[in-house]
C-alpha cells in the first residue's frame, strides 16, 4: 500500500528565502509525482507534474525533483514571497488516477 | 474561476437530513472525481466516473450516493450522515483516465458540517 509523507507539517520563513519542501513515498512503482497548492478553504491547484521517467520539472520560481529509487521528491521555491503562503501537497499516482496524497506542508512566508 | 464549479460552498445539515452536492466542469473533460478532505488527514478518493460510468468506489459508505448524468455534471447525494462525515468535499476532473501525464483540476469544495 502506497503511503506518502510530507515533513515538516508546517514551515515559517522570512520573505526572500529559498526553501525546500519534502515528500517521501513508500512504493517506487509510481507513474508520476504531482505537487499541488491549496489556499485556506479552497480547492487544489496543480503546480508541477513529474513523470516517472523524469528527474525534475520547473515552472517559474518552482522546481520539483523526483528520485524514485529513494522514494523522495522535493519542491524548491526560490525567492519566497508572502503570496506563496499556502498548504503544499504532494501526491503519487499508482494507477489509473489513483492519486495518493500526503497530508501537506503548511507554508507561511513572513513579510 | 477554475473551470470546476461546486455548490453549495458551505452546508450544515442534521443527521436525518437529505442533501446533495453539485459539481459542474466546463473543461470538456471525460473523467470526474469526488474526494474527501478531513482535518488532519490526507485527501481520500471516494468515487471516479469516466464517460458517466462509475469506475471506482473506494469503499465509501452507502449514505454517500454519487450520480453522474453526463460528463459535465457530478452529484453527491447525502443521507443519514454522521458527525464524522464533516469535511471538505472536493470535486475534480481530468481529460481522461489512465494517461500518466493527466493533471487534475479541482473545484473550491463544499465545506460540510453534520450536527
Residue of A88, A97, A103 to mutate, testing the B interface (most B Cβ within 10 Å of its Cβ):
A97
Q: Is B24 on the interface with A (CB under 8 A)?
A: no
Residue B1 has pLDDT above 60, yes or no: no
| CA B80 to chain CA mean position, Å | 17
Mean pLDDT of A87-95: 91
Lowest-pLDDT choice from A17-21, A56-60, B55-59: B55-59
Q: Could you say which of B55, B100, B106 has the minimum Cβ distance to residue A32?
A: B100
Q: Does B103 contact A103 at a Cβ distance shorter than 8 Å?
A: no
User: CA nearest A95 in B: which residue?
Assistant: B98
Does the pLDDT value for residue B2 go beyond 70? no
Pairing of β A105-110 and β A10-14: parallel
Determine the residue of chain A that is closest to B94 in CA distance.
A97
CA-nearest residue of chain B to A50? B101
Exposure on the CB side of residue B65, measured as CA atoms within 13 A: 10
| pLDDT tens string B91-115 | 999 998 777 777 889 999 999 999 9
Return the bridge partners of B92, or none.
B33, B106
Cβ-Cβ contacts under 8 Å, A10 against chain B? none
- pLDDT tens across B4-56, in order? 999 999 999 998 889 999 999 999 999 999 999 998 789 999 999 988 888 88
Neighboring chain A residues of B4 at a CB cutoff of 8 Å: 43
Q: Residue B60 is placed in which grid cell?
A: 465509501
* Closest C-alpha to A61, from A5, A109, A4, A23: A109
Amino acid at each position: 500500500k502506497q503511503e506518502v509523507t510530507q515533513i515538516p507539517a508546517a514551515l515559517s520563513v522570512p520573505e526572500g528565502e529559498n526553501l525546500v519542501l519534502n515528500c517521501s513515498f513508500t512504493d517506487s512503482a509510481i507513474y508520476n509525482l504531482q505537487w499541488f497548492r491549496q489556499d485556506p478553504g479552497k480547492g487544489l491547484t496543480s503546480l508541477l507534474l513529474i513523470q516517472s521517467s523524469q528527474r525534475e520539472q520547473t515552472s517559474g520560481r518552482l522546481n520539483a525533483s523526483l528520485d524514485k529509487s529513494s522514494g523522495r521528491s522535493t519542491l524548491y521555491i526560490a525567492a519566497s514571497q508572502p503570496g506563496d503562503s499556502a498548504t503544499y501537497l504532494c501526491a503519487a499516482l499508482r494507477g489509473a488516477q489513483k492519486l495518493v496524497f500526503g497530508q501537506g506542508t503548511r507554508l507561511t512566508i513572513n513579510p | 474561476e477554475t473551470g470546476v464549479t461546486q455548490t453549495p460552498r458551505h452546508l450544515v445539515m442534521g443527521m436525518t437530513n437529505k442533501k446533495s452536492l453539485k459539481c459542474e466542469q466546463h473543461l470538456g473533460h471525460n473523467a470526474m472525481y469526488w474526494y474527501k478532505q478531513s482535518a488532519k488527514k490526507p485527501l481520500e478518493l471516494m468515487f471516479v466516473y469516466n464517460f458517466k460510468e462509475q469506475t471506482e468506489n473506494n469503499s465509501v459508505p452507502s449514505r454517500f450516493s454519487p450520480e453522474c448524468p453526463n460528463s459535465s455534471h457530478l452529484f453527491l447525494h447525502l443521507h443519514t450522515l454522521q458527525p464524522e462525515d464533516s469535511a471538505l468535499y472536493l470535486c475534480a476532473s481530468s481529460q481522461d483516465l489512465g494517461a500518466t501525464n493527466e493533471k487534475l483540476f479541482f473545484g473550491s469544495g463544499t465545506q460540510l458540517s453534520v450536527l
